[in-house]
């Protein structure tokens, strides 16, 4: 089994990615959906004195930062250092407002916004991956961003000449057009990432049969997003295993001749939104591999927002003898150390941590 956690380059996903770096292997490979650039911090220098420029900050002074430029981009270096040079997929993420909505925080997805509207910039970014032997560039073909067969052939050949491995992440729409390219251009070092999104694995048997009938030499991975974006936190069960997340792809991928599975490790496939944060139902999700279930703990008082987690902590701890009988769960450890209720980001971190550890322990 190959497992691929799909991680957007937000703060908590990156934190967890770093924590799990020591566990990555040929069977456990993170995929980073890059939505914004990481820049090296550059401070202003006084041209006359050659000293740093400072500004008042209350009773203190602090150095003034320069506005980031393209020359300061360190995104790939940053990820490489974060995961100690382990193998990773690099997916420069493109999106449509039709899928993710219009109330997005574009400041937090500036790169994704630009490459979604500039295919030359997108291809240029993919080409930069060649500087890292441990990175696998991901060519993404999905609704709204589908290459013609000739375009894809050119891109695949160019990237294969630059990298030991490449990955093609695709949805079902262009499958008929891409069949011959998958058979003839992709070899044992490459990866086909077949993305069914939020669709049920059992509804895609016709597409899976099509893939199975091809002469495919590359590794074939099923990507799934089992936690639906349109289900609000307050809809989940007050306590116990939830029926709102169908994670059956995790156990069924092999039935459809896939070599592995990838998913969002308990998070939704979403993008940062504008505003909000102070209100909403507090939801904790703890995955349990033994029964392939997410255990939900919900405070439906939306006025409390993240403060609602305070009442959830003792309820979660009451399940410890079942969910963490040997006291080895990193997520439970984080919950125990969490001061007060924590915030939304803390609990996203806990969700991912629990999921990744459960998957790793299953190997």
Span 188-214, pLDDT tens digits: 999 999 999 999 999 999 999 999 999
Task: Give me the pLDDT at residue 102, please.
Answer: 81
The CATH number for 12's domain is 3.20.20.70
Query: Considering the domain boundaries, does residue 224 fall inside one?
Result: yes
User: What is the spatial distance between Cα 215 and Cα 293, in angstroms, rounded to a whole number?
Assistant: 35
Task: Give me the pLDDT at residue 204, please.
Answer: 97
Task: Give me the pLDDT at residue 118, please.
Answer: 97
Query: Considering the domain boundaries, does residue 208 fall inside one?
Result: yes
Query: Considering the domain boundaries, does residue 104 fall inside one?
Result: yes
Whether the full predicted model's pTM is greater than 0.85, yes or no, is yes
Task: Give me the pLDDT at residue 276, please.
Answer: 64
Q: What is the β-pairing status of strands 191-195 and 167-170?
A: parallel
Task: Give me the pLDDT at residue 177, please.
Answer: 97
Task: Give backbone dihedrals phi and psi of 352, rounded to 5 degrees, phi first.
Answer: -65, -45
Whether the CA torsion 297, 303, 304, 305 is positive or negative: it is: positive
Q: Is 245 left (phi over 0), alpha (psi -120 to 50) or beta?
A: beta
Whether the CA torsion 290, 294, 298, 300 is positive or negative: it is: negative
The closest of 314, 266, 31 to 165, measured between CA atoms, is: 31
Query: Considering the domain boundaries, does residue 337 fall inside one?
Result: no
- Give how far the C-alpha of residue 103 lies from the chain's centroid of Cα atoms, to the nearest Å: 20
Which regions of the chain are under pLDDT 70?
Answer: 276
Query: Considering the domain boundaries, does residue 94 fall inside one?
Result: yes
The C-alpha angle 233, 238, 242, rounded to 5 degrees, equals 75
Span 27-70, pLDDT tens digits: 999 999 999 999 999 999 988 888 998 988 878 889 899 899 99
Query: Considering the domain boundaries, does residue 166 fall inside one?
Result: yes
Q: Provide the token pair at 206.
A: 């016709």
- How does 268-281 read in b/e, with b if 16+ C-beta sit within 10 Å? ebebbeeeeeeebb
Task: Identify the domain containing residue 262 by its residue range.
Answer: 2-40+53-274
Q: Are 234 and 297 in contact (CB under 8 A)?
A: no
Query: Considering the domain boundaries, does residue 11 fall inside one?
Result: yes
Query: Considering the domain boundaries, does residue 333 fall inside one?
Result: no
**Close Cβ partners of 227 (under 8 Å, ≥ 6 residues apart):** 244, 245, 264, 266, 267, 268, 285, 294
User: What is the spatial distance between Cα 238 and Cα 124, in angstroms, rounded to a whole number?
Assistant: 47
Task: Give me the pLDDT at residue 16, please.
Answer: 98
Task: Give me the pLDDT at residue 60, please.
Answer: 86
- Number of domains forming the structure of the chain: 1
């Amino acid at each position: 089994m190959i497992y691929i956690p799909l991680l957007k380059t937000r703060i908590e996903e990156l934190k967890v990615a770093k924590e799990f770096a020591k566990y990555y292997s040929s069977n456990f490979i993170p995929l980073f959906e890059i939505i914004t650039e990481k820049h090296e911090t550059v401070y202003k220098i006084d041209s006359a004195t050659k000293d740093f420029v400072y500004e008042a900050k209350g009773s203190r002074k602090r150095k003034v930062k320069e506005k980031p430029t393209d020359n300061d981009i360190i995104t790939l270096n940053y990820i490489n250092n974060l995961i100690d040079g382990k193998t990773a997929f690099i997916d420069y993420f493109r999106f449509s407002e039709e899928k993710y909505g219009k109330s997005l925080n574009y400041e937090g997805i500036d790169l994704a916004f630009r490459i979604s509207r500039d295919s030359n910039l997108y291809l240029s970014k993919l080409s930069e991956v060649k500087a890292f032997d441990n990175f696998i560039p991901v060519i993404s073909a999905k609704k709204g961003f589908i290459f013609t067969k000739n375009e894809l052939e050119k891109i695949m050949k160019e990237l294969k000449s630059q990298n030991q491995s490449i990955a093609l992440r695709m949805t079902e729409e262009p499958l008929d057009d891409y069949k011959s390219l998958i058979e003839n251009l992709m070899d044992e070092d490459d990866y086909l990432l077949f993305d069914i999104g939020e669709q049920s694995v059992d509804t895609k048997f016709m597409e899976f049969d099509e893939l199975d009938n091809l002469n495919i030499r590359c590794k074939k991975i099923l990507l799934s997003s089992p936690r639906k974006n349109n289900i609000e936190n307050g809809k989940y069960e007050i306590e116990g295993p939830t029926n709102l997340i169908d994670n059956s792809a995790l156990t069924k991928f092999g039935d459809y001749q896939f070599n592995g599975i990838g998913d969002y490790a308990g998070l939704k496939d979403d993008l940062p939104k504008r505003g909000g944060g102070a209100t909403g139902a507090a939801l904790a999700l703890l995955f349990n591999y033994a029964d392939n279930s997410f255990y939900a703990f919900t405070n439906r008082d939306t006025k409390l927002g993240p403060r609602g987690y305070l009442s959830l902590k003792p309820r979660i701890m009451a399940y410890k003898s079942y969910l963490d009988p040997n006291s080895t769960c990193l997520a439970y450890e984080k919950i125990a150390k969490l001061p007060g209720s924590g915030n939304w980001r803390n609990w996203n971190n806990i969700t991912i941590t629990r999921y990744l550890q459960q998957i790793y322990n299953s190997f």
